[in-house]
Structure 1
Amino acid sequence: MDNQGKLYGIGVGPGDPELLTLKAVRVINEADVVFTAASAKRSYSLAMEIARPHLSDSVTLESLSFTMTEDKGATEAAWDANAEKIAAVMKEGKNAAFLTLGDPMTYSTFGYILKSLKKIMPRAQVETIPGITSFHAAAARLNRTLVEGEESLLVTSGAYGGNQLQRVGNAVENIVMMKAYKNIKKNNEALAASGMLENSVAVTKCGRHGEEIIQDIRSLETRDPDYWTLILAGK
């Protein structure tokens, strides 16, 4: 245990390299190995590109391949295999960092890696360094208050058509809908049923090249929404 290295889960923010925290930059450059997630089809990592302006030449980088599939068995196998690679570094007494978009504890691949790592190394030392989320960046970009007073905020996924919003929409005043690139028509129907459609806005690629603000989110139904699309809505 005393000879094991430590894992740092590091949020690199939504896209603007200037939104990394000072602590994130320091730890990335002090780690022995820096891991990041990529798809099985290509090694490109947006998280790595965001962090790259801050990396020293001596940083050791390693890309971990994750399968983009609805096959739960295949995805869990990928999490376990990649956690094994991280554990191997830690067992050598080295410190590892895992870079993730936004915040490591919010709809993040790091959460799955953490679960798998705990199965392999139950007493592993792990420190999570928070990052700015895409929805906080979007709210700031729009100068739009997320909540005030005693209002509530629901952060949910639109990947399955706004099911969660349909269940609790009448009980909240404001929502953030992540993963709004799928089932946009059903998501809009859920927003309309909750009285939020008219006070909603979508943001794509917030803080990055190609950023787009869509004031009428119904227009998303006539196009293919970008993977990096989220919706802010309220009553």
Structure 2
Amino acid sequence: MRAKRLGSLYGVSVGTGDPELITIKGQRLLQETSIIAFPMGVNGKQGLAEKIITPWITPQQKKLPLYFPYLQDEQQLKQAWKDATETVWEYLYQGLDVAFACEGDISLYSTFTYLAQTLREDHPQVTIQTIPGVCSPVATASVLGIPLTLGSQKLAIIPALYNMAELDQLLSWADVIVLLKVSSVYSQVWHRLERLNLLDHAFIVERANQPEEKIYRNLRDHPTLDLSYFSLMIITGHC
């Protein structure tokens, strides 16, 4: 008896905001796949990934928003990944391919990773393919018009600081530091950089490559900032 054909899951990196910052392969898969999944927006609003891919998909394609809560509770997160996996599996089992649009790059602190891991555990026979793209650190460097690294410079990327000792450790060995999700700790980071006389080496880009993009270069003038979740700081050239 011939084995049932299962659909494939594609993780498609869609960049940080500009719909043109998608690879040709990623765009092709978005246009060829009938089921388009993406993280659900907050409070019923359109999420960033959905906004980015809007120019590339048609009304004939089925949109599949998946719920991924913004919280730290491990059990609730695992349940959300499990629920999202089973939603996607319903289509894969029917032989339908699913393309998951991932903001930024699929391999850098991506929600898709948890979805793919859970799917592999529950349904190891499914084919999963990932398409790389533009991640926020390189997008931010481009917006600032600076190289992210040069020569033998050492780069550190950290998703969030939970105490300033972590920043001190990074400063002791990294030439370039990228702080993702800096909004929640900006005030503490600012005061630490002021004490170390490093404010002239720090930059912030908020919502890189999006219409609401903001750039902060002179941080000495900004001891406090009301930053969005999509804000990133680069500290460079301090060594």
Match in the other structure for 1:21:
23
Contact 1:12 1:19 in 2 (8 A): yes
Q: Please give the alpha-carbon distance, in whole angstroms, between the structure 1 residues aligned to 2:197 and 2:129.
A: 41
What's the CA shift for 1:111? Answer: 1.2
Contact 2:170 2:177 in 1 (8 A): no
1:123 correspondence with 2:142: no
Q: Percent identity?
A: 27
Match in the other structure for 1:207:
209
Compared CA separation, residues 10 and 222, structure 1 to 2 (3 A): same
Contact 1:179 1:228 in 2 (8 A): yes
Contact 2:207 2:231 in 1 (8 A): yes
Q: Which runs of 4+ in 1 moved over 6 A?
A: none
Q: Please give the alpha-carbon distance, in whole angstroms, between the structure 1 residues aligned to 2:32 and 2:88.
A: 16
Structure 2 unaligned runs (5+)? none
What's the CA shift for 1:169? Answer: 2.2
What's the CA shift for 1:220? Answer: 5.1
Instruction: Summarize the alignment of residues 96-175 of structure 1 with structure 2, pairs less than 5 Å apart.
Output: 96-161=98-163, 164-175=166-177
Q: Please give the alpha-carbon distance, in whole angstroms, between the structure 1 residues aligned to 2:211 and 2:197.
A: 32
Q: Please give the alpha-carbon distance, in whole angstroms, between the structure 1 residues aligned to 2:228 and 2:222.
A: 9
Contact 2:6 2:95 in 1 (8 A): yes
Question: Structure 2 residue aligned with 1:185, among 176, 180, 187?
Answer: 187
Match in the other structure for 1:81:
83
Q: Please give the alpha-carbon distance, in whole angstroms, between the structure 2 residues aligned to 1:185 and 1:160.
A: 13
1:33 corresponds to which letter in structure 2? I
Contact 1:104 1:129 in 2 (8 A): yes
Post-superposition Cα deviations, 1:17-57, rounded to whole Å, max 9, x if no partner, equal: 11111111110111121101014632522111111111133
Q: Pairwise CA RMSD of aligned residues? A: 2.1
Question: Structure 2 residue aligned with 1:58, among 53, 57, 60?
Answer: 60
Structure 1 unaligned runs (5+)? none
Aligned residues: 235
1:34 correspondence with 2:36: yes
SS at structure 2 position matched to 1:18 = coil
SS at structure 2 position matched to 1:230 = strand
Contact 2:186 2:225 in 1 (8 A): no
Using structure 1 for the length normalisation, give the TM-score. Answer: 0.91
Using structure 2 for the length normalisation, give the TM-score. Answer: 0.90
Q: Please give the alpha-carbon distance, in whole angstroms, between the structure 2 residues aligned to 1:108 and 1:64.
A: 14
